[in-house]
Structure 1
Amino acid sequence: MAIVKINPIQIAGRWQSGISLDLHTTSSTPVGYNEYGHMQFDTVRPEIAELLYRLKNRGDRDAAGPIIETAANFLAPYRDRFDSIVPVPPSHQRALQPVIVLAEGIGAQLGVPVLSCITTTRPTTQLKNVTDPEERKKQVDGLYQVDATQTRGRSILLFDDLFRSGTTMNAITDQLLGPGQAAVVRALTITKTRSNH
């Protein structure tokens, strides 16, 4: 397995501390329209973001290994700060759920249980298509619930593949610290968008 080069960036939210391992894209240049009238982009991604793209958009399971290896290597020195990993529930159905595959892989490498303790109260829309911050907030209001029997008193690492505005992760953090009675929540994502929209 290869550990890829990363550029960790702090992410702010209602959690105690948060890190994204790298940017989602370095640059994206419009190159013209395809035959369906959709603008095409020449997108440059950091190495870990390219792997994530292959895993999410191409269903390339081989891309998961180096991501898991790199994330586990990054987290190892902080291993005493969390006793469980909570993945953000996927927003839509895929044959391969990248967040779950990565969370379970990282958990296995570090010997940390992965808790599926967050459920959604209704079908979710993909927030990436909603740009208005107020509308985003409305979309997640009351959306998540937590099984407190799994989270009470725990030090949790909340995990997602992509950080955009933090709306989803903040809503889940509120649930974990409130009804979930978690002791502390920290956050980790694989990549982060350059803007918060």
Structure 2
Amino acid sequence: MKTNLKQIFGNWDLGYALDKHTLRSTYIGDNEYGHPQFNTERSEPGEALFQLKYRSDWDQAKVIAHAIAANVYSKFAKVGLIVPMPASKARQRQPVTEIARELAAIVKLNCFEDILRKATTGRALKDIGSKDERAKVLAGAITLNDEIRGDGQWNVLLVDDLYDTGASLEAATTVLRTYKKIGRIYVAAVSW
């Protein structure tokens, strides 16, 4: 998969996204229901993510995980475990969790799927404009579950699908920083 890495900044220690999600989108008219239609060209990671999330092409989770492993994983020092961002929308299968599982299998680490939990906020973050507004909606929505057994401290790789304002990742990082078993926090996003 062709990528165009971008470093992403927030309250985590180091983070990267594989590529821009949408390269261009052209309005082509309204459909029979009056909804606008677009001809959209996405990057390879963006298209893989679109197919995974909106077309239920679950094979894309492995493709994306391989791209993260090949292009981003080596930039992080001594990752000890993988954590997916908690989902915003209830689905039978969660795309980000599937990517995190595949990545964990590739790099031979444990994937802790329940360290972070997210309460329903009642609003889709993509419909909220500013980072400050998103942060207010997320305040207290992400909580910690002590899922790691034993003593010690591990560096974590937090996996997310789309980096926009960074509000969700920053909320998750803030919560992870309260967990004495977590050291450095790294972020890998599929697209921005």
TM-score normalised per structure 1: 0.88
State which of 46, 59, 63 in structure 1 corresponds to 2:56. Answer: 59
- Separation in 1 of the partners of 2:6 and 2:74? 17
Map of 1:69 onto structure 2: 66
- Asked if the contact 1:103–1:159 (Cα under 8 Å) also holds between the matched residues in 2, the reply is yes
Other structure's SS at 1:57 match: helix
CA distance in 1: counterparts of 2:136 and 2:74, whole angstroms:
37
Correspondence 1:126-165 to 2 at 5 A? 126-148=124-146, 150=148, 153-165=153-165
Task: Find the counterpart in structure 2 of residue 180 from structure 1.
Answer: 179
> Structure 1: how far apart are the matches of 2:118 and 2:67?
29
Greater share of helix residues, 1 or 2?
Answer: 1
Structure 2 matches for 1:82-121, cutoff 5 A? 82-115=79-112, 116-121=114-119
Whole-Å Cα distance in 2 between the matches of residues 90 and 120 of structure 1? 7
Residues 23, 46 of structure 1: 8 Å contact kept: yes
CA distance in 2, matches of 1:79, 1:134: 29
TM-aligned CA deviation for residue 86 of structure 1? 1.1
Partner of 1:27: 24
Tell me the amino acid that sits aligned with residue 147 of structure 1: N
Structure in which a larger fraction of residues adopt strand: 2
Decide whether aligned partners of structure 1 residues 150 and 125 sit closer, same or farther in structure 2, where only a CA change above 3 A counts: farther
- Cα distance in 2 for residues equivalent to 1:43 and 1:75: 26
CA shift for structure 1 position 42: 1.0
Q: Distance in 1 between matches of 2:101 and 2:53?
A: 16
- Is the Cα–Cα contact under 8 Å of residues 161 and 191 in structure 2 kept in the other structure? yes
Identity, % of aligned positions: 32
Shift of 1:45: 0.4
Following TM superposition, by how much is the alpha carbon of 1:67 offset from its aligned partner in structure 2, in angstroms? Answer: 1.3
User: How far apart, CA to CA, are the structure 1 residues paired with 2:96 and 2:130?
Assistant: 25
CA RMSD across the alignment: 1.8
Distance 1:101 1:93 in 2: 14
Q: How far is the alpha carbon of 1:150 from its aligned partner?
A: 2.4
- In the alignment, is the contact (CA less than 8 A) between 2:14 and 2:76 conserved in 1? no
Paired amino acid for 2:123: T
Displacement of 1:80 after TM fit?
Answer: 4.1
Q: Aligned pair count?
A: 188
Alpha-carbon shift at residue 121 of structure 1 (Å):
4.0
Alignment partner of 2:111: what SS?
coil
Which residues of structure 2 form unaligned runs of 5+?
none
